[in-house]
Amino acid sequence: MARMPGAEWSPITVNYTRDGMGEIHGVTLHIMAGTLAGTDSWFRNRAAEASSHFGTGRAGALRQWVDTKDKAWAQADGNPHWISIENEGRGGDDLTDAQLDACARVLAWAHKQHGVPLRVTDSPNGRGLGHHSMGGSAWGGHLACPGVKVLAQKAEIVRRAAALVDGKPKEDTIKIVLEDGVPQWPGRVLKVTSPMMRGADVRIWQEKMAKRGWKIDVDGVFGPQSAGVAKGYRKATGLNAVAEVDEDAWSMTWSWRPPPQTPPPAEPPPPLPATCQPGLVDDAN
């Protein structure tokens, strides 16, 4: 029995083969061309002769219809070896950020539970994260499922799954080159993304901003706090106040000096006691 913790278990009683799974080679992505609710009721209809192990909703719902010891009916000849995920959406849609997370959770679980490798595959003979259309006619000839936009998101799903398995997200590979002790522009604009940017460039920038007296955690992750500091610093240095570290802001980080303060005007000397003030002496006597 293999049910995924964290997925809503909503078993169907028809349209699958009990104990029908063979060796599991990977996870396949599908697009519903419909809604999660509509697909749910369709899979419960014997006439559908279709099902999948998992389903995602565009807001991030994750449902499991079929135990992964049982064969779902999602991709014909691919059924015995592939865990299937149906994703809510229309043909040609990309997956939402929440769906990418949900698919990554399934892949990470399939990796731990069934040994599915964390990589993209585009072959029905491969292993890893595949998709329906890669199986061609033997898999039912659904050449538009899940569509090119979703195919372009497979690498991101694998990346997120790897982060879940590692317990901590991987750092982005960024090389810092110092010139006269000053780190050169690494070539990417630091800003808040999902998942968040992590890496040596973020850390070295945070370090410098902390030295400049900004309240910022030096953790190598560009989150909302870093974005706030980036915006504040740009404002202070006269750049347009967006929450990003682009090439201009990066070089300002190491080169900018605050303008010298004009000293406050000198205090006038205190008045002398009245009795000693010249010119006030009464010389009429």
Interaction pattern, residues 43-72, with Zn ion; x per rule: CB under 5 A: ------------------------------
Q: Which is nearer to Zn ion, 55 or 220 (CB)?
A: 55
Per rule CB under 5 A, count of chain residues that contact Zn ion? 4
Which amino acid does the sequence have at 121?
A: T
Q: 249 with 239: CB under 8 angstroms? A: yes
Q: Which is nearer to Zn ion, 74 or 158 (CB)?
A: 74
What is the token pair recorded at 249?
């802001």
- Which of 234, 232, 236 shows the shortest CA–CA distance to 224? 232
Q: 28 with 75: CB under 8 angstroms? A: yes
Rounded to a whole number of angstroms, the minimum distance from the CB of residue 55 to Zn ion is 12
Interaction pattern, residues 4-43, with Zn ion; x per rule: CB under 5 A: --------------------------x-------------
Q: Which is nearer to Zn ion, 25 or 30 (CB)?
A: 30
CA atoms within 13 A on the CB side of 277: 7
Q: Which is nearer to Zn ion, 75 or 226 (CB)?
A: 75
Distance CA(7)–CA(165), nearest Å, equals 17
Distance from the first to the final alpha carbon of the chain: 120
For residue 225, count other CB atoms closer than 10 A to its CB. 15
Of 134-153, binders to Zn ion (CB under 5 A) are 142, 145
Rounded to a whole number of angstroms, the minimum distance from the CB of residue 30 to Zn ion is 3
Rounded to a whole number of angstroms, the minimum distance from the CB of residue 142 to Zn ion is 5
Q: Which is nearer to Zn ion, 79 or 206 (CB)?
A: 79
Rounded to a whole number of angstroms, the minimum distance from the CB of residue 52 to Zn ion is 8
Rounded to a whole number of angstroms, the minimum distance from the CB of residue 43 to Zn ion is 13
Q: 65 with 12: CB under 8 angstroms? A: yes
Q: Which is nearer to Zn ion, 30 or 198 (CB)?
A: 30
- Which of 157, 65, 36, 152 shows the shortest CA–CA distance to 106? 157
Listed in sequence order, the DSSP H helices in 135-223 are: 148-151, 154-166, 200-211
Stretch of residues binding Zn ion (CB under 5 A), selected from 126-134, 166-174, 190-198, 273-281: 126-134
Which amino acid does the sequence have at 190?
A: L
Chain residues in the site for Zn ion (CB under 5 A): 30, 132, 142, 145
